[in-house]
Amino acid sequence: MKKFQPMEKHNFRILYGVHPVWEALRAQSSRARELWLARDDRDARIREILKLAQDHGVRMVRMDPQEMRRRVSGNHQGVALRMDCPAPASLEDLLGEIGGKAPCVLVVLDHLQDPQNLGAILRSAACLGASGILIPERRSVRLSPGAVKASAGASERVPVLSVVNLGQALRDLKERGFWVYGADRAGQSLAGHEFAQPLVLVIGSEESGLRPSTRSLCDALVAIPQSETGVSSLNASAATAVILYEIFRQSGKKA
């Protein structure tokens, strides 16, 4: 079986912004190492962040705004968190971490490009019970600081793995008993489709959707019913949220 590589070469990453930092401290405080603060603590959310950091033994470092700008390029809002990277480095690791949990839902992004879409998909995955996200190693969006911030802390709850060969990854998952569903306008209506589990939901790129080679590996294609007066298609992250919700709804009915 092919090995899956971690998203980053370094053993830490910087998360920034008030809400993402607050969410990360709540979700995965054991990975947090340093809290960087370049603002006063009169704001109630900042005080809560400081308390969470103190409760979990996270070192607090005060720095001036110029130093924060040097270290963090995005809209940091005066607060950042230095964290260890999420650990799963292979498909085996991820599935071992999931264990026997049911339902088991993985999301595969077939050469998505927009970091904001990745962040939004991470949020939907965290809220709707997906266990992980797989992304191609090349010609694809990465788990960049912008994507992490857009995820509002969800990147610390849902592991993201970079795969060398997306087709091989799907074949490996099918061999392990996963059903592979592709989101495609030519597919069966979501309203009448019953999902089998464990499953993989494959989302295509913003411009061209699923590649033919990826589509050929899907066990079924599903489409979201739309109003005749609507636009041609939903945004990739919006479509992911809608389909994940239906999977989540069906899982609840079977529980």
Q: Is the pLDDT of residue 7 over 70?
A: no
- Ordered strands of the 179-189 beta sheet: 4-5, 160-163, 132-136, 105-109, 199-203, 179-189, 220-223
Say what the pLDDT of residue 198 is: 93
Phi/psi at 108 (5° precision): -110, 130
Say what the pLDDT of residue 99 is: 67
How far, CA to CA in Å, does 54 sit from each of 35, 58, 61, 120, 212? 10, 6, 12, 29, 51
**How many other C-beta atoms are found inside a 10 Å radius of the C-beta of residue 100?**
5
3: confidence class by pLDDT, cuts 50, 70, 90: very low
153: confidence class by pLDDT, cuts 50, 70, 90: confident
Task: Kindly state the DSSP code that residue 136 receives in the 8-state scheme.
Answer: E
pLDDT digit string, tens, across residues 122-149: 999 999 999 999 988 888 777 777 787 7
8: confidence class by pLDDT, cuts 50, 70, 90: very low
Domains of the chain: 12-84 (3.30.1330.30), 91-254 (3.40.1280.10)
Average pLDDT over residues 212-223: 95
Phi/psi at 64 (5° precision): -80, 160
pLDDT digit string, tens, across residues 20-68: 888 878 876 667 889 999 988 888 889 999 999 988 889 999 998 888 8
pLDDT digit string, tens, across residues 79-92: 988 877 654 567 88
Average pLDDT score over the chain: 83
